[in-house]
Each structure stands twice: as C-alpha cells, then as structure tokens.
Structure 1
Amino acid sequence: MIESSPRCRALTAAFIAASVVAPMTGAARPAAVPAPVPRPLVPLRAATPAALAVRYAESRDGMRAAERMAAGHGDRWRAAMLRAMADPARTFLFFDGRDGGRAAEVFGELPDAERIAVLVPGAGTSLDRYGLLRGGAMRLRQEIGDRSAVIAWLGYRTPSTVSLATLTPGRADEAVPYLRAFVRELGTVRPAARVFLLCHSYGSVVCARAASRLDVDGIVLFGSVGTTAGTVAELHTRAAVWAGRGTGDWTARVPNTRLRLPFATIGFGADPLSPAFGARVFAAGDGGHSDYLRPGVALDNIARIVTGQAPSEGSRGA
C-alpha cells in the first residue's frame, strides 16, 4: 500500500539523509578494483564428488585470475584475500570478481546433504566484507550438523548500505533471476534435499521478490525492514515463511510503509513480524542487526528451523 502519513514523512527524511551520504559511501565501493570476465561454467548436472570437483576448480581458476589482476592494479589487500579464497580446501560453486564481487561458497558436503541452507545477504555485502557472511555460514553449518550444507550466496549486486538503492527493490529485482536459477540448479543436483532460504536485511526483499517461482521448503526472514508484500499470501509460495528480529536491531524503528515519489517508490511495506503479515515468528534474542548468525538465540532457532525442529521460546523481537 502507498501511504501518506507522519511515518511516510519520516521515511522521506531517511531517504534525504541517504541521498546526502550515498556519494561518500559509493566512492569506497569495492567495484573500483578490476577483475576479469569469468569463463562460462560447465553446467552442473549432479552433485557427485567428480562433478563438483570440476566446478570448484573452475571457480578457483577465476579467483586466481582476479588475484593477478588485483595485484597488477596495486590492491594488495584484495589480492591477498582472493589468494585465501582460492585455497583448495575451500569450495565455490561460482565466482565473479567484478563490481563488488559474486560468489557462492559451500560449507559441508553437497553430495550427502539432506538439508541445504542458502544464506542471502543484505546491503553492503561484497568481497571486501565477505568475511562476515562466511563466518555466519560456518557457524550455522556447525549448528545444523552432518548431512547438511550451508551456501553463502553472494549472487547479486548488493546496494550500498546508505543509498537510494537500499530503499527501493531495484537491486532485489536484478537479483531475482540469479537466485531462481541457483535454486533450480540445486534442485537438479540434489532433488531430494530440503532447501531453505535464510534472508538477512535487504536479502529478505530479494527472497520475497523471487518467492513465487522458488521450489524451497522454507524462507526465513531476519533483520528485515519489509518485503514489498503486504502478507505471506502475496508471496505466492508453498514454503513456510518465518520472521525474527532481535530486540537490539535498529530495523524495528524503520517505518513500515511505501512512499511514491516522482522518481522512485521507496520503502518495503508491512513488517514481516506483524500478525497481519502472517509469518511464523521466531525468537531472535537481544542482538543487533549483524548478530543473527553469531552464537545465541537467533542462530540456535534458525538452525532449529532448518533441521525441522520447533524454535525455542524467548524474546520475540522488537
């Protein structure tokens, strides 16, 4: 719904602040580091160790090429990071170093996975901040145990943390075909596995916009400021939809509305934790916006959802 109210005026003020700060944050975007065009990947038809070894090797070759280009550009920090990512012990289903970076790293063994959790990150996530996403994926994998896999899916051009793009669904809509294609590939190689999308912050907009054509078992929204949908029914998904928010998360103070301006519609509408939205609300503890996959109530309950257990009781969020 498009509203005109004091809450809309607050959202307008947030937009103005974002527009002022965006040029400064945009200048620091990691897109400035050049990277080669990745070679087309051989389609993955099965999650056999042999087929995955080929895919992982292709991604590793791309990282090494990007490392050489970053070093030639004089960016030693990026080159060192790419060298670490190309370690043979790490496994990536794809990699593209351009424009902030794209990657999908696997934690666990896909050939044996009965449950697969795909982490979809929010604004400001890039190769230069990839460690935060990776750390969360590793901790979640430890929680959900054997015969499971977690995939850190940095598969889209995320918006800068403070920018107009963060307040509109444009970048999410760009991401939709990539997320759908990735989930289809997982369904091809592991058709019996149960797949869950774990969607943080702006990533919840990505998951919601893609939901109607995603064959997944669960969609978990956390730290979400909205999805652009008014209710779970509007997502047109058979998946169970969960939502949680830590009591220390600033997103509780964001107006849950949409405002039409001459150049864009900003805001994401209904609060996913509201009864009217209709999601299954889970306790997320007292953490802040970046704490959901750190040890605590939120991580424990997200792991419980992925493994088919009922979330524990506790703080239901702000």
Structure 2
Amino acid sequence: MARVESFADAVDLLWSVAMEDVDAAEASALAALAAQAMARAQDGPARDMAGVDDDQWVEWLLRTSSAGDSSVLPAVERFGSARQPKERRAAWRLHEAASRIAFAAARVTSTAALALWRESWHAQSSVFLGDVLTYLRQREQSGPDGPIAGKIGAALAEGARSRTADDPALVVVAHSMGGNIVYDLLSHLRPELECDVLVTVGSQVGVFAELGLLPAVSAPADPKSDRVPALANVGSWINVYDPNDPLAFVTAKIFAGSEDFAYSTGRGVRSSHSAYMRRPSFHHRLSERLRDCPLPSTATGLPQE
C-alpha cells in the first residue's frame, strides 16, 4: 500500500490496528509517533520501497518519525516487556499490527469470519440502540439533571471555564450518540452553554431531528428547502461521516450553518463506525478544517488552531 497506492493510507491502516486495546501510556506514545508519521506521509516516501518487507518499512518509519530517539526503536522483545518504556512498547504495537494486517485478507473470506462479522455488528447495533433509549428515558425523567446529560453538560461548562487569553477557543468533538446529546444540550437542555466549533463524527443528529426526537427542532413547512436555524451559541458546525458507516448521517440538508465532510476510514460496515479517531489522517484533516473556522484570537492576535 505504501509503495503502490498511498503512503498516508498505509500509516492510517497501521495505526488503526495498533491502537486496538492499548493502555493510556501506549496510546499517548502512539499518538506522538502518529503526528510525525503523518508529517512524513505528507512528504511522501523518502526512500525506494522496492524489496522492503512490512517489518523493514515499520522499522524505517519508526526511525524517521522518532527524530533520532533510539528509545522508541524495538529492542529484542523479552518476556515481561510491558515494563519497557512506553515508547518502545508502542513500537512493538506497530510491528504487531503489521503482522495482523498481513493475515487479515485470508481470514476475512472464511465462513467463520463472516459469522463473526454478523455477531459483531449485531452487538454494536444493540449497544447503540440501548444508548439511545437510555438517554431518552433519562431526559424524560430528569431533563438536564439526568446522569448522561448532567455529565456531558458539566464537561462543556468546564471547557468554557478553562478558556484563557492564550487558549480562547472551545472546540467540542462528539462521536456517534455523543453528537446527538451535545446538540440536544446546546439547543434545548442547556442553551446557556456554548462552543466555538462543534464537530460531530459518525453521528445521527439529522435522523434524530427527522424523527422528532430533538425538542428544539420543529418540523419544516417544506423539507426540500427549509433548514433548522443555526444555533446562536455555536460558532461553526463540522459534521464528518464515512459513507461506509451505517450509523453516520449528513446534517447540511437539515440544519443551516452545518457543513458535511465525507471521510473514508478505510474500514467496511462492521468497523468503520469506531475507526475515525484511530486514524492519524482524521486528526490531521480536522486541524486543517479548523483553520478555516472563525475562532477567537489569542492574546498575540494569532489564529487559534
């Protein structure tokens, strides 16, 4: 993939697999390496990839992404390697991910794999439906003081209080059901809250609106032309969806002030919904989009990213 198709896609795939089931320390180390790897991906391959196997490519990527820091390079793995520095454990995660990817194609066509896909998707959709019903019941019974609404509302309020002259912008990134809840809070339950940019990812706010599940949204007189007015307490709204994600929906056809952006996670129906945040390119592209948003200036007058 790195040699023939896309260097950046190869980085995305590697990190997406490596980030599964990591602890906080490894995730932090992988994130730091991802930023450097994506910078390398923007430059394109810096060497002839012909004859380079997966492990050699990962090794080269680690060396060029670690700015000469040998602590991230994988030494000979030994039993009990969890005690190694987090950076080195992160490097082993990438090598392990490369091995898992190499065997994935053979597994995916088997009957057992297809049965596993069906079981996994059923479990994922059941959990999502349970989340929806639980939140709606809590809202009905307790309004903004419900356990879920209360926790997320408190986090938004804390984010607003954390603004400083040097860091004045509040950007809220909400995935899946989180997008529906944040919109419900900002539009109905806690309209005194605000944010400079709302980013919904793989979310269903449009579906909630069309089903009449958002109290602040009224049915349009003409659905083909009418749009729900933009929220006065939200500066900009970016909505990201993967066309392969069955739980992700557009918003711009329903809400004024919302922009839809298609993003491919490279995953299929089964796993695309949970893959956005694991892709280094997602964070890189989001940072580029945020530069286009009218955010508050810092104390020095520079635009805030």
TM-score by length of 1: 0.38
Rg: which structure is higher?
Answer: 2
> Whose strand proportion is higher, 1 or 2?
1
> Whose helix proportion is higher, 1 or 2?
2
